Amino acid sequence: MNGGIFDPEAFGHLRAEVASLSRSVQRLEGTIQRLIDSDNLLHSQISEARGGWRMFMGLVGLSGAIGALISWIFSHGSHSPPSWP
């Protein structure tokens, strides 16, 4: 100390720490932005997959209904078995 409240060595040390912390915060901001971008991409891919899954299940239900209708027609439409050539 030079007899006063202000210590130039301690102030220099604090300035270096602040600069180091500022660089760390900037790196963290970049990392957080990349994580947000990655999350947004993942969310959009999951939304697309969810729509595809619903479409697939709709087609499965429709094909099951058509199969049941064909089965009902064969079982109730004619009492004799179909004649195959």
The amino acid at residue 65 is: A
Q: Are 7 and 1 in contact (CB under 8 A)?
A: yes
One digit per residue, the tens of pLDDT, for the chain of length 85 reads 455 688 899 999 999 999 999 999 999 999 999 999 999 998 888 887 777 888 889 999 999 999 999 988 888 766 566 667 6
Distance between CA 73 and CA 65 in Å, rounded? 12
Distance between CA 52 and CA 46 in Å, rounded? 10
pLDDT at 80: 61
Domain boundaries along the sequence of the chain: 8-62
Please compute Rg for the chain using Cα positions.
36
